[in-house]
Structure 1
Amino acid sequence: MTTALLTDLYELTMLEAARASGAADRRCVFEVFTRSLPPGRRYGVVAGIGRVLTAIADFRFDDADLRYLAKIDAVSDDTLEYLASYRFRGNVHAYEEGDLFFPGSPILRVEGSFADAVMLETVVLSILNHDSGVASVGARMVTAARGRPCIEMGGRRVHEDAAIAAARAAYIVGFASTSNLAAGAHYRIPVTGTSAHAFTLLFDDERDAFRAQLAAQGNATALLVDTYDVPTAVRSAVELAGPELGSIRLDSGDLGQQAVQLRDLLDSLGADGTRITVTSDLDEYRLEELAHAPVDAYGIGTRLVTGGGHPAPGFVYKLVERENSAGVMEPVGKRSQDKTTPGGAKRAVRMLVDGVARAEVVLPAGAEITELDQEITAAVDAEGSGSASGRVHLRPLQVPMIRGGERVNPVSAPEQVQRARAHHAHALAELDLRADDGPDGPAAIPTHLASHSAAQAIER
């Protein structure tokens, strides 16, 4: 399946007008960034890079696509002929998937002709905004869980394809498993699931339902105990399974209070190894409330897969540099109120002092980092984000992903996800945040737009 029609019509009409004017072949640089974080968010998480690379590789117009465009008279026959042989032949640099972003972070840079790059805008933003929205709230949930495993189970709350992408994003930021079989099959994410209330209601007696589930799945299964009377269900579960019962699940009521009562009940019945899993519209704030409750695992759905109230980070795809009529590359950018775009191709580094992140530094793509050490250090000190004295390391954030239209060091989809998961754990550890600080606060580190002559904070 091609991804070429996962775009907006105006990408094609811009292409046609640029070709007619002779400007379509001008070299250009586009960048993806966001101007701000949602209120209370201390950082965002980059997710979807692997899916973007696949979408770019598949961005080509097949016969069915071209027939549709001809039918709706979208573009001229000449442009249709051009589209028939379109392949992206440019370069892509991006943050590694799983890394963190802040206001102004240039998480993805596309280099190529205007014709090469302009049509990718919609599909790139669609993937990055969705996946990063899920990952950004998912990371907060994992932190709030304080080491207790989180299960992604939101597939029934979003589009079926979005459910697979959401499970992928959640796993990258530390969720232990998913209930979604398609995500498990495609990305090799561990899958989990036992039964719903419908299974209990199928039987004349709750004990019969438990007996059937234990016979089919073994004593290590999780029994759902809140269909009727919870204490009665727990006693029946332990009586039938014995102390080897793996887990009970609560899906309603005061989860914290019930967890305390049921822990005592399980222990009194000899089932001190039986775990308690809770579900029911959980988010990072409810996990904070349950921090000291005897809960062993969380099942999380709606608030995760819909972005926790902020379903999109607000990423934009902007032209920041282009070849002028004299053949010289020059910076360009919007100057409209509240939507200024800093011009020029950029790179980014994370400034670490004794291993702890202190700043996100955005600098001209061709600048030598060593030339900017003193300037960056002074900017961080001036921002009041902590003394920059100590062992300073500048970690490059963008890495080449596509060169001349070809993937750089491609790996399988499952390996891609595992690498992103490991990279996220490393990047988050650099912030040195504590779960007890709570999920909300100012941006964890400042962002600086550095030049050879000045350093100024980007709006955040």
Structure 2
Amino acid sequence: ETVLLSIYNHDSAIASAASRMTLVAVDRPCIEMGSRRTQELAAVAAARAAYIAGFEATSNLEAGRRYGVPTRGTSAHSFTLLHGTEREAFAAQIAALGEDTTLLVDTYDVIEAVKTGVELTQGRLGAVRLDSGDLVVMAKDVRALLDSLGAEHTKIIVTSDLDEWNIAALSGAPVDGYGVGTALVTGSGHPTCGFVYKLVARAASNAENAPLVSVAKRSTDKVSIGGRKFALRRLSALGVAEAEVIGLGAPPQHDHNDRSLLVQLVANGDVASEEPLEAARQRHLRCRAELPQDATKMSRGEPVIETIFVESNGDQSVNPYATSEAAGTR
């Protein structure tokens, strides 16, 4: 229970934030850069979760080694400050990593740094990174400068405490990618999903294939719904999610557009299925594509998709865990 909730609460919070960010970023790549802002082991898990939810790469090399997450990054301000001049720092980075590298250009003077980077690569510089100031204004100025210097193919990457709202605000700026750190690895305001473990059934005896007995909590404000659950997502004819249907004690009745949500991971203590990283990434994209347009709203609100509990006698309740008038019965 403890280790499972630790994984689910942390990784799902990171993945949810990453999914919101990549959704508003549209086709601009996002890079996970939050290792300095969280616990060292959590940083590796965060990089994996972010990649599954749409981020293109991570700056965490351990995540690349352990999970195969693509790695990418830029230099730090300290690298520039270590050298006698910015030109020396850029020349050293280009010599080590090639002209396609990304130069951090806001240590001293952005305009002069861009000019230096373009000059050293004869207009073939891969990208520049902006990490301070008004990013919308700065990106426009730098794009105009790059184009005037003949570096039309040099990209602009922006960082500096970005979250999904900042990324959305930058949608009209000439930006080619985002580096996201603190907001991502802290769940962008939701550091945990608040998942809990509730035992819902126990065997009636120690006999093999003994029937299950439903159990549930009845304490004030923490009532749980007992019984084995079977979950599916109900889709429209166009493949848009309409409801999540939970059968209590027995699978709910399917229609031809329903998709089962349960996957057996462990059987008799043995791992029953393992999903490769790329398969998980593609599954996230498919599942997110099923959501209705209202699910992409950034503001708080009632659940966009109903959760319908169907009891064995056919009675139904809608969003029974909701704390507002959205909950009801049928």
TM-score by length of 2: 0.91
Given that residues 145 and 288 in structure 1 are in contact (C-alpha distance below 8 angstroms), is that contact kept between their aligned partners in structure 2?
yes
Q: Secondary structure at the match of 2:263?
A: strand
Cα distance in 1 for partners of 2:25, 2:86 equals: 31
Tell me the residue number matched to 1:405.
269
Q: Which string of whole-angstrom CA distances, capped at 9 and with x for unpartnered residues, describes residues 23-72 of structure 1? A: xxxxxxxxxxxxxxxxxxxxxxxxxxxxxxxxxxxxxxxxxxxxxxxxxx
Instruction: Label 1:368 to 1:444 Cα distance change in 2 as closer, same or farther (>3 A).
Output: closer
1:242-253 aligned at under 5 Å gives the runs 242-253=122-133
Tell me the residue number matched to 1:210.
90
Given that residues 37 and 185 in structure 2 are in contact (C-alpha distance below 8 angstroms), is that contact kept between their aligned partners in structure 1?
yes
Q: Secondary structure at the match of 1:449?
A: strand
Tell me the residue number matched to 2:291.
431
Given that residues 266 and 273 in structure 2 are in contact (C-alpha distance below 8 angstroms), is that contact kept between their aligned partners in structure 1?
no
Tell me the residue number matched to 2:299.
440
Match of 1:417 among 277, 285, 298: 277
Q: Which amino acid in 1 is paired with 2:314?
A: S
Q: Which moved more, 1:447-456 or 1:437-446?
A: 437-446
Q: Which amino acid in 1 is paired with 2:298?
A: P
Instruction: Label 1:284 to 1:456 Cα distance change in 2 as closer, same or farther (>3 A).
Output: same
Tell me the residue number matched to 1:394.
258
Match of 1:166 among 17, 38, 46: 46
Cα distance in 2 for partners of 1:250, 1:334 equals: 52
Instruction: Label 1:320 to 1:267 Cα distance change in 2 as closer, same or farther (>3 A).
Output: same
Cα distance in 1 for partners of 2:43, 2:20 equals: 19
Match of 2:113 among 213, 233, 241: 233
- C-alpha displacement of 1:428: 0.2
Cα distance in 2 for partners of 1:123, 1:300 equals: 27
- C-alpha displacement of 1:441: 4.3
Instruction: Label 1:280 to 1:318 Cα distance change in 2 as closer, same or farther (>3 A).
Output: same
Q: Which amino acid in 1 is paired with 2:183?
A: R
1:316 aligns to 2:186 (yes or no)? no
- C-alpha displacement of 1:278: 0.5
Gaps of 5+ in 1: 1-120, 374-391
Cα distance in 2 for partners of 1:401, 1:129 equals: 18
1:352 aligns to 2:235 (yes or no)? yes
Q: Which amino acid in 2 is paired with 1:419?
A: A
Given that residues 156 and 177 in structure 2 are in contact (C-alpha distance below 8 angstroms), is that contact kept between their aligned partners in structure 1?
yes
Q: Which amino acid in 2 is paired with 1:168?
A: R
Q: Which string of whole-angstrom CA distances, capped at 9 and with x for unpartnered residues, describes residues 377-398 of structure 1? A: xxxxxxxxxxxxxxx5110000
Tell me the residue number matched to 1:366.
250
Q: Which string of whole-angstrom CA distances, capped at 9 and with x for unpartnered residues, describes residues 402-437 of structure 1? A: 1112222446xxxx21111010000000014389x6
- Greater relative contact order, per chain length (Cα 8 Å cut-off, separation 6+): 1
Q: Which amino acid in 2 is paired with 1:454?
A: D
Cα distance in 2 for partners of 1:368, 1:297 equals: 44
- C-alpha displacement of 1:369: 2.4
Q: Which string of whole-angstrom CA distances, capped at 9 and with x for unpartnered residues, describes residues 316-358 of structure 1? A: 1111112347975221111222211011010100000021101
Tell me the residue number matched to 2:151.
271
Instruction: Label 1:154 to 1:457 Cα distance change in 2 as closer, same or farther (>3 A).
Output: same
Q: Secondary structure at the match of 1:248?
A: strand
Q: Secondary structure at the match of 1:258?
A: helix
- C-alpha displacement of 1:367: 2.9
Cα distance in 1 for partners of 2:273, 2:306 equals: 32
Cα distance in 2 for partners of 1:328, 1:404 equals: 17
Cα distance in 2 for partners of 1:358, 1:368 equals: 15
More helix per residue = 1
Q: Secondary structure at the match of 2:141?
A: helix
Given that residues 230 and 252 in structure 2 are in contact (C-alpha distance below 8 angstroms), is that contact kept between their aligned partners in structure 1?
no
1:306 aligns to 2:156 (yes or no)? no
1:138 aligns to 2:18 (yes or no)? yes
Q: Which string of whole-angstrom CA distances, capped at 9 and with x for unpartnered residues, describes residues 161-211 of structure 1? A: 111100000000010000011100111111012311111111221111111
The count of residues paired between Structure 1 and Structure 2 equals 315
Aligned-pair RMSD on alpha carbons? Answer: 1.8
Instruction: Label 1:235 to 1:139 Cα distance change in 2 as closer, same or farther (>3 A).
Output: same
Q: Secondary structure at the match of 2:220?
A: coil
